[in-house]
Homo-oligomer: A and B are copies of this chain.
Amino acid sequence: MATTTRTTDRGAAYFPRLAAERLDIALCRASAAVARAADAHAAREGLGVGQHLVLQMLDAVGPCSQQTLSEELRIDRSVMVGICDDLERAGHVRRERNVRDRRSYAVTITDSGRRRLAEAQASIPAFLEDTFHTLTPDERGQLSAILGKLLRTGAGGSP
Q: Taking beta carbons and an 8 Å cutoff, which residues of A are in contact with B?
A: 1, 3, 7-11, 13-16, 18-20, 22-38, 53, 56-57, 60-65, 68-69, 72-74, 98, 101, 104, 106, 124, 127-128, 131-135, 139-140, 142-144, 146-156, 158-159
Cβ-neighbour of A106 out of B7, B13, B23, B36 (below 8 A): B7
Contacts A26-B147, A135-B149 supplied; 11 other A-B pairs, CB < 8 Å = A9-B61, A15-B151, A23-B128, A23-B132, A23-B144, A24-B35, A24-B127, A28-B35, A29-B74, A30-B31, A139-B146
Are A132 and B147 touching (Cβ within 8 A)?
A: no
Are B146 and A142 touching (Cβ within 8 A)?
A: yes
Are B151 and A14 touching (Cβ within 8 A)?
A: no
The interface residues of chain B lying within 8 Å CB-to-CB of A34 are 24, 27-28, 155
CA distance A120 to B29 in the complex (A): 21
15 intermolecular pairs with C-beta atoms under 8 Å apart: A3-B158, A7-B68, A9-B64, A10-B68, A15-B72, A16-B148, A20-B144, A20-B148, A22-B124, A23-B147, A24-B131, A30-B151, A30-B155, A134-B154, A142-B142
CA distance A142 to B33 in the complex (A): 20
Task: Tell me the interface secondary structure of chain A in the complex.
Answer: helix
Q: Known contacts being A38-B24, A148-B16, is A65 close to B29, with CB within 8 Å?
A: no
Are A9 and B149 touching (Cβ within 8 A)?
A: no
The interface residues of chain B lying within 8 Å CB-to-CB of A32 are 31, 74
Q: Known contacts being A72-B11, A106-B7, A144-B20, is A30 close to B61, with CB within 8 Å?
A: no
